[in-house]
Chain A
Amino acid sequence: DGGITQSPKYLFRKEGQNVTLSCEQNLNHDAMYWYRQDPGQGLRLIYYSQIVNDFQKGDIAEGYSVSREKKESFPLTVTSAQKNPTAFYLCASSPRMGKLFFGSGTQLSVL
């Protein structure tokens, strides 16, 4: 089945630690995205990538990093510089100019 797989479903971060959220898609989509969702809020764009080996900052990129070495994969690293990382993180992909397809999300919490 085609889709977007995010892992892990739940993740805990200790202070000063970097953590990486995985996102894999087998839809052959060019574009991939990371969004952050806080309780009762909409989604805010962290980073996006339109093509392999290229990515752009979204509205709230500070404290995060990404890579796009393969078309299928777009991992997000939450660095220690992100002081308020607790949120629900959603990865999405889209064909060019198409709608976004979302993964099941990762809930990140701070210990």
Chain B
Amino acid sequence: QSVLTQAPSASGTPGQRVTISCFGSSSNIRSNTVNWYQQVPGTAPKLLIYSDNQRPSGVPDRFSGSKSGTSASLAISGLQSEDEADYYCAVWDDSLNGRVFGGGTMLTVL
């Protein structure tokens, strides 16, 4: 059971906007920067958002990250079929003295 809580699944239709949330605590999300990873089943994860809201080069601006207090969010606008994947939040936890991942959210594009 992870210290970061994500809904196990989410869904949306093409063109829609969806939001995936990550709930943590004062020892992780409130204190440190959050990163998001996208993993298409059978492949390695890919960095999607770093430092709460920064996009690496090559990541479409349809993806955006935000953080407030002890929770973080990943928003995907203009949903596309290729966005169907698992999404993980990750952050350093000061209490555990280690890096933690959320349990992951499987996004289905209907």
The finding on whether chains A and B are genuine partners in a shared complex, rather than unrelated, reads no
Binding site for A on B (CB under 8 A): none
